[in-house]
Structure 1
Amino acid sequence: MESFFDEPTYNSLRDRLQQIDSNKTPEWGKMDAAQMFKHCQYPIQIALEKEKVVVKSNWFAKVFFKKSLYSDKPFRKNLPTAPSLKVADSKDFESEKEKLDQWMQELWYDRENNNRRSHPMFGNFTKDQWGKVQYKHLDHHFRQFGV
């Protein structure tokens, strides 16, 4: 399983981000690209302890979904999104794309952090698991837009 914290993977994710343009339509889901960029910022902000959304702990998610977050199997299409992480309002494409890139860079520079607090919904992750979760989420949404 690839990890956000591996340099070739990180560089590939940033390259893929730049390939998404405002005319791309999603292969699944309801979000447009600008909304997806905003949505993808939330998990990175959570890892950096800078989230601006409230994500509640969920025992069902911890027990039945947590291991799938860092398994080798890609996320399936149209998975439900936690209500607080949904983005339904209009967003500016270029602004949100740039913000996502900046958050990705900040997480990259913080990659050696071994003392992250618990995820508010899923509990504790190791550094390795954090890297896999971040990769898997971004990969899922970049594939959603064909890159």
Structure 2
Amino acid sequence: MVKLTRFESAECPVARSLDAIGDGWSLLIIRDAFDGIRRFGEFQRSLGVAKNILSTRLRTLVAHGIFEIVPASDGSAYQEYVLTEKGRALFTVIIGLRQWGEGFFYGKGEVHSVIVDREQGEPVRTLELRSADGRLLGPQDCRRVAVQ
């Protein structure tokens, strides 16, 4: 069995983030939550993932404060998984990943889904990284520095 490396003490925020959301199933669960899915069975049907894998991923996402478990909104005996503020903050990460995938993994005219603005019905603009003064930034314009 492969031993997974843990990054909870890493200096790098990317490495720490991977402990919580670093596998494909977790990102797809979060994606589905943004699409309104809240119950275990709904996630399982949507993703086609084995129940034991889904259970483990949801438990990890709850432990990291990305989801919270709440009573079912319809008053039934079920429980629902709801994104916390921390979880909702992943929206731009999911959109960035979607847009990257749209740009590099689909041929011209190939059918795929896009995110549109509910009010206008138009596709959202491509995410951009900007400096404090508004300049568009690329990898060559940025560097890592340690902070306390």
Structure-2-length-normalised TM-score? 0.24
Structure-1-length-normalised TM-score? 0.24
Higher helix proportion (structure 1 or 2): 1
Higher strand proportion (structure 1 or 2): 2
Point out the structure with max Rg over C-alpha.
2
Greater relative contact order, per chain length (Cα 8 Å cut-off, separation 6+): 1
